[in-house]
Amino acid sequence: MIARLRRIKSTLIFGGTAAWGLLLVSCVMVSRTTMMAPPQIPGATFVGSADCAQCHEGITSNFHDATHANLMAEGENAKNVGCESCHGPGSIHSQQGGGAGSIVNPAKNPETCFQCHLDKRSEFAMPYSHPIDKVGCSDCHESHQGDAVVGGGTNLQGSNESCLKCHDAIRGPYVFEHEAMRDGCTSCHNPHGTVNAKMLKARNAAACLQCHNQQQTVSGQIMIGSREHTSFLTSGGTCWTAGCHEAVHGSHVNSSLRY
């Protein structure tokens, strides 16, 4: 079983019948099997996902093709634990017929997500990040179906829609499109947080130079887009300041992405 966990990443299994059983995790962030404890609810025991489906069939019916379905631990000892991997043991919740306070709701508290996604905890602690107390994981991620990205992970238009729900001002279409928008907002931004303003993956002009490579045709000059940029790049600042390329997401008037 451990060997299988190493082959299939993000697979979890409960150890034994104890409610405090540990989860064995082969996480996408590491190449080794690690261990963690599932969320706990005082006095509650694990009942299995079949019990959850009695009330939440609309959610569980699509869960089989979700990335998070890899959290499902099958067998008598595990009681087909899947939902409870993130929501905690559900016996009390089931006995009470539902209700807040008897089950863990990751949408209200990201700590459950951070148990597996350790790198995201550190990113949200960066100087520039989305306010996790206002923008929860479930605002951008669908954990119960698909690959956990609203709109579908490889569907770039769909992933952009997650951002454009709040950042509607940059929605196109534009007469002159910045091709980076086709690759998705995350080609330039890390939505969880970075050390750079605007949550950019790279600082200032370095963000643009990831795609707009320097053409070294003349010694001592920096040619980008057939124009000499040496004075611009050495003066500091960014490509989208000082009247150069302010319309960085797209423009209706200028192919150099100016307003």
**pLDDT single digits (tens) 162-187:** 899 899 999 889 999 999 888 889 99
Distance CA 54, CA 48 (A): 11
Whether residue 30 contacts residue 10, with contact meaning beta carbons closer than 8 Å, is answered with no
| Average pLDDT, integer, range 121-126 | 94
What pLDDT is attached to residue 198? Answer: 93
| Cα–Cα distance list, 118 to 29, 203, 229 (Å) | 8, 24, 40
What pLDDT is attached to residue 35? Answer: 52
Burial call 136-158: b when 16+ CB within 10 Å, e when fewer: bbbebbbbbbbebbbbbeeebee
Nearest to 77 by CA among 12, 1, 18, 17: 17
The pLDDT-based confidence of 120 (bands split at 50, 70, 90) is very high
Residue 225 burial by Cβ neighbours in a 10 Å radius (0-12, 13-18, 19+): exposed
The pLDDT-based confidence of 44 (bands split at 50, 70, 90) is very high
For the chain, the structural domain boundaries read: 2-105, 120-251
Structure tokens at 80: 């087909």
What pLDDT is attached to residue 69? Answer: 84
What pLDDT is attached to residue 200? Answer: 95
pLDDT value at 4 more than 60: no
Whether the upstream peptide bond of residue 131 has omega within 30° of 0, thus cis, is no
- Helix (H) / strand (E) element for 248: namely none
Average pLDDT, rounded, for the chain:
80
| Average pLDDT, integer, range 189-212 | 92
Distance CA 100, CA 105 (A): 8
The 10s digit of each residue's pLDDT in 56-74 is: 999 998 888 888 888 777 7
DSSP 3-state of 156: helix
What pLDDT is attached to residue 78? Answer: 77
The 10s digit of each residue's pLDDT in 22-32 is: 444 434 444 44
